[in-house]
Amino acid sequence: MSYLETDTLDWQVIYNVDKWLDEGIPDAYKDQPMAQDWARVSKVIEELGEAVAAMIGYTGQNPRKGMTHTKEDMVYELADVAMTAILAIQHFTKADDVTRGILRRKQESIYRRMMDARTKDA
């Protein structure tokens, strides 16, 4: 396994897309911040649905449609889920260093669970 010393995400892009999404709020919702909170979290679910659809299409699980997607299509949709989730976190934190910290803590937590499971299995 290799590790990069530098972050591989362009956090200026995350900042700018988050800002763009905030600026694009329809006028009817500008005074309803909770509606935007729900929209950001719900968007992750929408993207997950697209990833599932791509997986179904990749594996041909719908006999009526057959094989409609490639593995690359499915993986790209998963990347969309990941980026949408990161943007949802950024929506709530408004600070890329805080968002990065949350992601790193989650990564460390997953790693610790794996190590604990390996120790238990040994």
Tell me the per-residue pLDDT of 3-44, one tens digit each, with 9 for 90 and over.
667 778 999 999 999 999 999 999 999 899 999 999 999 999
pLDDT at 120: 87
The pLDDT-based confidence of 2 (bands split at 50, 70, 90) is low
pLDDT in tens, 62-101: 999 999 999 999 999 999 999 999 999 999 999 999 999 9
- Domain tally, the chain: 1
Nearest to 58 by CA among 46, 74, 78, 81: 74
26: in domain = no
User: How high is the pLDDT of residue 122?
Assistant: 76
How far is 47 from 52, CA to CA, in rounded Å?
Answer: 9
The reported pTM is: 0.90
**Measured between alpha carbons, how far is 30 from 39 in angstroms, rounded to an integer?**
12
**Domain for residue 97, yes or no?**
yes
Query: Is residue 4 situated within a structural domain?
Result: no
Within a domain: 1:
no
Does 108 map to a domain?
yes
Range of the domain at 66: 33-121
pLDDT at residue 61, rounded to an integer: 96
